[in-house]
Amino acid sequence: MAKKLSLQELDLFDIRLLQALQENGRLSNIELAERVRLSASQCQRRVKKLEELGIIRQYVALLDRDKIGLGVMAFVNVRLARHGDDPARVFQETIAREPHILECWAVTGEADYVLRVVATDLKAFSNFLLHTLLSVPVIAEVRSTVMLEQLKGSNVLPLEM
């Protein structure tokens, strides 16, 4: 298991590297080194260490969902009919197979899980609810909230020291 580091254990160069990579994960090593004021070799070693520690998990391209035809996004609260290992396993297997579920969180409160789901349109979203989620016997209740407009969105974690 990777060692957990607190923000206080990272030095200023590590913080600068992480901030720069969060803003633009496609920076070359030379560009990154110039930005954080390190030599290219030091920069490369530090980035490799941050990757090995699991602080940098992966590099991705963030797509515009509207431009690729996924115009509906919703949060879906799910409550299981009963609890225990079997129902949780069945639920987890169901969500693992479904590409329209972008995230699933186990939560406290009235729901057991909150899903972030995308669909092409409301009809497709309705079909997903009716034929995917509500067809799972361990699911007792589903409540959804369709997102109308995003007022803020970021994948950048705050790294202030």
The CATH class, in words, for 66-146 is: alpha beta
9-52 has which CATH code? Answer: 1.10.10.10
User: Rounded to whole angstroms, how far apart are CA atoms 93 and 95?
Assistant: 6
- Phi and psi of 78, rounded to 5°? -120, 130
Tokens linked to 160: 């202030």
State the average pLDDT over residues 51-80.
96
Give pLDDT, residue 4.
64
For residue 113, pLDDT beyond 60: yes
Report the percentage of the chain scoring pLDDT > 90. 89
**Tens of pLDDT along 78-102?**
999 998 889 999 999 999 999 999 9
Give pLDDT, residue 115.
98
Q: What are the helix (H) ranges across the chain? A: 12-23, 29-36, 40-52, 85-97, 122-127
Query: What residues does each domain of the chain span?
Result: 9-52, 66-146
**Tens of pLDDT along 21-54?**
999 999 999 999 999 999 999 999 999 999 999 9
Give pLDDT, residue 110.
94
State the average pLDDT over residues 117-134.
97
β-strands 139-146, 101-106: how paired? Answer: unpaired
Q: Rounded to two decimals, what is the model's pTM?
A: 0.84
Give pLDDT, residue 84.
86
* Confidence grade of residue 147 (pLDDT, cut at 50, 70, 90): very high
User: Rounded to whole angstroms, how far apart are CA atoms 161 and 159?
Assistant: 6
β-strands 139-146, 113-119: how paired? Answer: unpaired
Give pLDDT, residue 9.
81
